[in-house]
Structure 1
């Protein structure tokens, strides 16, 4: 697959606590958005990267491998958080996919997101479910999608790696065609630009590099209030 990954600390943050990792040999892609004081968020998201880089994926069962990896990262972050007072309470979102034999396998925890864009019918579909206070309100019909985008508490996550030993993973698999593109991103992107705007960028370009570059620039020009990390991947150009 062809891909482009970008990360930026944004216009307001002094440091970048986002991380990403790609293993192009098995078409594995992940992003992690760290949280916690004293740069502990960066430690948490880097822990996710380190474990993914060393993990031995079993491609006969990619979804089980992704789940195993997620639980291992969770335990590692919990262990680290007990070793240093500055690390207490640190955590990270985690969104990861493997593409194998024209199927997409994914796992998600937190409010980073996974999208599929179909070039033929020009549709953008969010396939991950957010674990956040605002997402819960939206699912219960208590707020609208527009209210969710502007909600003052939209950055409060209800699950993340490193916070609790028990996890309720959002995971699944689906077929993916040659005219579909994957977008994996932290909320630094989706808090700044709406899904319709993301779709418009995909409509304009057939090149993953141009899509990624424009998405980042739009997020920055819209305020860049948080760290921004995104990966765009696809079969075709």
Structure 2
């Protein structure tokens, strides 16, 4: 699908999801409706994860789709979704929750930006000038171990705590979400995915696939199919969003953003430039 979203940006996108080969439910949910493109991966046992991810997506759809999406509006929608997910009943001893990661197309003084949002270990990447860059920072125990030098990335892939996230929508207390403001560049391609993709396919293979498939729906379909073929140990969801026909955007070389709690304020650095953080735990 392709529409003019904001500030002269024409976006086209594709979306695909699969429950995988080992799960009875698909606890992933996604929203791909201009200007919002997000993935949510639920947790909480039984059907609580499925309900939590769907609840988060429903709130974001109601608050943001078809409207002017400012950073303040995005943050307000995330806070509301957090409160709604907190009301969901889960298994005894567990809390319902969900990751959320993705982008919202916005404009600041007429210049188009991606507002990148992240909580948990779903991911948002940008493919630009042939290079794939992870924008979001995982909120997970293994990411903190990697950042501290306790384990390597190869060791983290098989760590017994690799599925434990340290922040989630619906966790106890105030929402603790990361935001980035990323200037839109000509021919940007955004990838948003649950960990069912990144747990099965290495980033270089993902980058090759995104470069090989020019159509965003074909790219999303192929990535999901490849993740299932590689093992399909988890639900897998992929959104691919392309930006075209830009007016007024800069070269997209900088990454600046507020960091959100109840109000967006502090700076959040790009992937690889900040240590891991977070104290709340939720395990799938």
TM-score by length of 2: 0.76
Partners of 1:189 and 1:87 in 2: how far apart?
28
When residues 86 and 151 of structure 1 are mapped into structure 2, their CA distance, relative to the original with a 3 A threshold, is closer
- For the Cα contact (< 8 Å) 2:42–2:97, is it kept in 1? yes
Query: 1:79 is matched with which residue?
Result: 87
Q: In the alignment, does 2:97 pair up with 1:91?
A: yes
The answer to whether residue 229 in structure 2 is matched with residue 221 in structure 1 is yes
Q: Deviations over 1:172-230 (max 9, x none)?
A: 11112121100011001111101111111122122212211211111011100000011
Post-superposition shift, 1:80? 2.7
Please, which runs of 5 or more residues in structure 2 have no aligned partner? 1-10, 246-284
Whether the 8 Å contact between 2:200 and 2:227 is mirrored in structure 1 is yes
The aligned residue for residue 23 of structure 1 is 33
More helix per residue: 1 or 2?
1
- Are residues 87 and 179 of structure 1, via their aligned partners in 2, closer, same or farther at CA, if it must alter by over 3 Å? farther
Counterpart CA distance in 1 for 2:94 and 2:152 is 35
Distance 1:149 1:88 in 2: 25
Q: 2:24 aligned with 1:14, yes or no?
A: yes
**Matched residue of 1:19: which SS?**
strand
Q: Say whether the 8 Å CA contact 2:36–2:64 is kept in structure 1.
A: no
In structure 1, the residue matched to 2:77 is 69
Is the aligned partner of 1:104 residue 2:114?
A: yes
Q: Which runs of 5+ in 1 are unaligned?
A: none
TM value normalised by structure 1: 0.90
